Copies of this chain bind each other. A is one copy, B any other.
């Protein structure tokens, strides 16, 4: 193959998840305090019943964010949000963050002030302590890595691997809106680049833009589930798109699932973006493959149905099927489509 010349395999040939599997295969866990290692949204540490959860998340300029349309305050907020979302994805509550920034001299002290104002805002909002980190030079652009630390009782922690046959598949909020916001920003950027006097038209897209630029970790959903004595059997956050996340749960729980297209929660602004962009762009595609929604996807026992059905902001979208079956989308016409991972940043 063209991308495997002279013993060189391109990163794109393997894909993100296969690459991580290859590189981290067979790393031993030697310490009792390493309760759960690689393979979920967080590592789980500690020997007592209350566990410490640790996760690390990187955002690189030009890959995860574009300075053309990303206010630095939003960027700081989002960097924290995205890391906290990984803590929420284990049904845990965040406590501390450390922030490491590599930054080129293109950025000024005042620019970093703005970035940290956003970091501070998100820490305040989610009751999280900034306890460390560092700032170093980079040759070009900015790379932000946030380490988030959380806490949960061992019995509360939800892994990707715990889904069982007939469990209900649930998702919070709505899907596809963050990607729709990105589409609008990219469209306006292209027009702006062609005509610097052009004034971007973002009216009527405030919701999807905020979903992309300033997402919120769903700590409130973790709290809501606790208040209602519901412990999800499995959980993950929607960072790469619903399809990709469903496949993670199915793979790690050794099961399949059926989710119903008409049950997928899609905001009207997402539908509007799709209809403006192209006749061929379907809102359901954004919901399945858009990514960056940072909603929580989780499964619960059928016996918890009565408890969950009245909770606002949580949608039951399907159920878990037996081992050996696939992750399937059921259309309104009752045909089924096998889900494939097409996360728009699969290679990040």
List of B residues within 8 angstroms of A37 by Cβ: 129-132
A206-220 interface (Cβ within 8 A of B): none
The answer to whether B127 touches A10 (Cβ under 8 A) is: no
Cβ-defined contact, A143 with B138, below 8 A: yes
**Are A98 and B147 CB-contacts (below 8 A) given A132-B55, A135-B20, A137-B348?**
yes
A16 nearest in chain B by CB position: B135
Select A34's contact among B7, B28, B116, B129, beta carbons within 8 Å: B129
Which of A106-114, A227-235, A257-265, A301-309 forms part of the interface with chain B?
A: A106-114
Contact B45 A139 (CB under 8 A): no
Residues 225-246 of A, flagged 1 when their CB comes within 8 A of B and 0 if not, give 0000000000000000000000
A residues 270-305 near B (Cβ < 8 Å) are: none
The distance from the CB of A193 to the nearest CB of chain B, in whole angstroms, is 18
Given contacts A27-B129, A112-B23, contact A100 B347 (CB under 8 A): no
Stretch from A58-66, A182-190, A320-328, A330-338 at the B interface: A58-66
Chain A interface residues toward B at CB < 8 A? 7-14, 16, 19-20, 22-24, 27-31, 33-34, 36-38, 42-43, 45, 52, 54-58, 60-64, 95-96, 98, 100-103, 105, 107-110, 112-113, 116, 120, 123, 127-141, 143, 145, 147, 149, 151, 345, 347-348
Q: Can you name 8 extra interface pairs (CB under 8 A) apart from A11-B103, A45-B52, A54-B96?
A: A24-B116, A37-B129, A38-B132, A45-B95, A56-B56, A56-B98, A60-B143, A147-B147
The 10 closest A-B pairs by CB, nearest first: A62-B139, A43-B131, A9-B109, A145-B145, A43-B132, A37-B131, A34-B129, A27-B130, A8-B108, A147-B147
